[in-house]
Amino acid sequence: MLVLTVGSEARTRKYLPDLPITREVNLVCAERGASNDDLLAAAPDADVIVADAISPVDVRLIEAMPNLKLIHSEGVAFNAIDVEAARARGIAVCNCAGVNAGTVAEQAVMLMLMCLRRALEGDRAVREGRQIALKERMMVEGFRELGDCTVGFVGFGAIGRATARYLRPWGCKMLYNKRHPLDEGFENELGVHFASLDDLLATCDIVSLHVPVTDETRGMVDGAFFAKMRSDGVLVNTARGDIVDQEALVAALEEGSIASAGLDTLTPEPVTLDNPLVNLSPEAAARVVFSPHVGGVAEGMFYRAHRTIWENIARLAAGEELVNRVC
């Protein structure tokens, strides 16, 4: 069996699990950014492609590989894979659902706290000798404790639920919105309550995004969305940049219709210097915290993800049913 990985070879080698299947296959590694022609030259007869979450696997590549049986995302996201093209050829597409829930939840909570406590502004003030001036201003202006906040989850899959579990001991009131409400027992276990999206936006101090990128969710966080949020509301996005209309977020921050944003993801990725969110006015920029899309990339996540991947490849080799199939 020939397995082609698209991403970092160093990462592939580091997290390769000690399983019989990893010693039985022919492994070819290509770096992220390799063209279709490069990939086809490297492994034209690949049975499996393992692609990092932002490496495209498009229709041309899929149709040009006659032996391809499985495309596996290295992470949870699979929006860079042409699922319809794979389905048309009967090729399975799988992801590593749930493996990053805890680490992304940590990132979400960190961004919430950094926004509430104005962490970047504080860091700069200390470095520039303005510590007391900012401290005095913050004591007059006030800031909210996380435990006093109502947090709303837009989408409530594994990551949203993990975030709720982390927040519950803080005493936060928590609302969520998803297509189908949870049963009452599970709501009580997590300390959450279902709300319509409009009610959630109007009520919550912090709105945390946890939906996948689909035709329905792409750009859903738009001007109308921000108009329904509280003017002192905080937006946290650890999902995907494509969910947010970035021009609308720029307008909301510049106009002060929301207070701040904590963003682990922008679009496109890699982030370019002409992205409107990295070109805000100084006043608006002081109310935004960026992290470099590292919410889900802790070491433990990669060990779990790569074990999931290779166990699935072993299932494929044995003719067994695959787990975490998305098509």
pLDDT, tens digit, 9 for 90 and up, residues 162-181: 999 999 999 999 999 999 99
Q: How far apart are CA 143 and CA 119, in angstroms?
A: 12
pLDDT given at position 25: 98
Catalytic residue among 118, 210, 287, 293: 293
Contact assessment for residue 261 and residue 288, using Cβ atoms and an 8 Å cutoff:
yes
pLDDT given at position 111: 98
Q: How far apart are CA 253 and CA 309, in angstroms?
A: 40
pLDDT given at position 90: 98
Local confidence band at 127 (pLDDT 50, 70, 90 cut-offs) = very high
Q: What are phi and psi of 101, to 5 degrees?
A: -60, -50
Local confidence band at 205 (pLDDT 50, 70, 90 cut-offs) = very high
Local confidence band at 218 (pLDDT 50, 70, 90 cut-offs) = very high
Local confidence band at 319 (pLDDT 50, 70, 90 cut-offs) = very high
Work out the average pLDDT over 247-266: 98
Q: What is the mean pLDDT of the chain?
A: 97
Tell me whether residue 240 is one of the annotated catalytic residues: yes
> Which tokens in the block code for residue 34?
């390799």
pLDDT single digits (tens) 18-47: 999 999 999 999 999 999 999 999 999 999
pLDDT given at position 201: 98
Q: In Å, what is the CA distance from 42 to each residue of 39, 76, 200, 276, 317?
A: 5, 26, 50, 37, 21
Q: Spell out the domains of the chain, with CATH numbers in brackets.
A: 2-99+298-318 (3.40.50.720), 101-290 (3.40.50.720)
pTM: 0.89
Q: How far apart are CA 316 and CA 320, in angstroms?
A: 6
Q: How far apart are CA 86 and CA 82, in angstroms?
A: 6
Catalytic residue among 240, 287, 304, 306: 240
Q: In Å, what is the CA distance from 40 to each residue of 27, 33, 44, 262, 288?
A: 14, 13, 4, 39, 42
Local confidence band at 60 (pLDDT 50, 70, 90 cut-offs) = very high
pLDDT given at position 226: 98
Burial of 175 by CB count in 10 Å (0-12 exposed, 13-18 middle, 19+ buried)?
buried
DSSP per position, 110-144: HHHHHHHTTHHHHHHHHHTT-HHHHHHHHHHH---
Catalytic residue among 269, 307, 311, 315: 269
pLDDT given at position 93: 98
Q: How far apart are CA 2 and CA 12, in angstroms?
A: 15
**Amino acid occupying residue 30:** A
**Amino acid occupying residue 208:** S
Q: How far apart are CA 162 and CA 156, in angstroms?
A: 9
Maximum C-alpha span of the chain? 67
pLDDT given at position 277: 98
pLDDT given at position 279: 98
Q: How far apart are CA 73 and CA 57, in angstroms?
A: 10
Coil vs helix vs strand at 184 = helix
Tell me whether residue 269 is one of the annotated catalytic residues: yes
pLDDT given at position 14: 97
pLDDT given at position 229: 98
Q: Which one, of 29, 37, 36, 35, lies nearest residue 6 by Cα?
A: 29
pLDDT given at position 69: 98
**Amino acid occupying residue 47:** D
3-state helix, strand, coil split of the chain in percent (to 5) is: 45, 15, 40
